[in-house]
Amino acid sequence: MNLDYKIVGIRGATSLSKDHPIELTEKVLELWNKIIENNDIMHIISVIFSVTPDIKSLNPATILREKLDLNNIPFMCLQEASFENSAVRIIRILIICESKTQNFVYLHETKELRTKKNNN
């Protein structure tokens, strides 16, 4: 491992207006691209997605595998626990990686979720 890089978890989230494969694909790719653009990632160790129970049309990990040919990264997708007054149609991501940065990305309706400032 390059000494300038450390193992970090980079979080992100986005929201859907409806559970539809086309919108889901667009939003997952947008989130992924923004995270990659806003961080200096050297090596991705693994990626965990979580989706709220109302998202059933497509697995976000499948989108990255098929659209970006990321077949060598271990992916996991889990369903979020359901709590009273929880947000709906939310996709969250946690990228475990070697990076110089740890800039979280929240898009659309998730901008009000807890965010972390840049800590380069």
Ordered by where they begin, the domains of the chain are 6-111 (3.30.1330.40)
What's the pLDDT band for 2 if we cut at 50, 70, 90?
low
pTM of the model: 0.89
What's the pLDDT band for 43 if we cut at 50, 70, 90?
very high
Q: What is the pLDDT of residues 63-75, one digit of tens each?
A: 999 999 999 999 9
**Whether pLDDT at 15 is above 60:** yes
List alpha helices for the chain, DSSP H.
21-37, 60-68
Predicted confidence at residue 82, as pLDDT, reads 86
- The full DSSP string for 13-27 is EEE-SS--HHHHHHH
What's the pLDDT band for 119 if we cut at 50, 70, 90?
very low
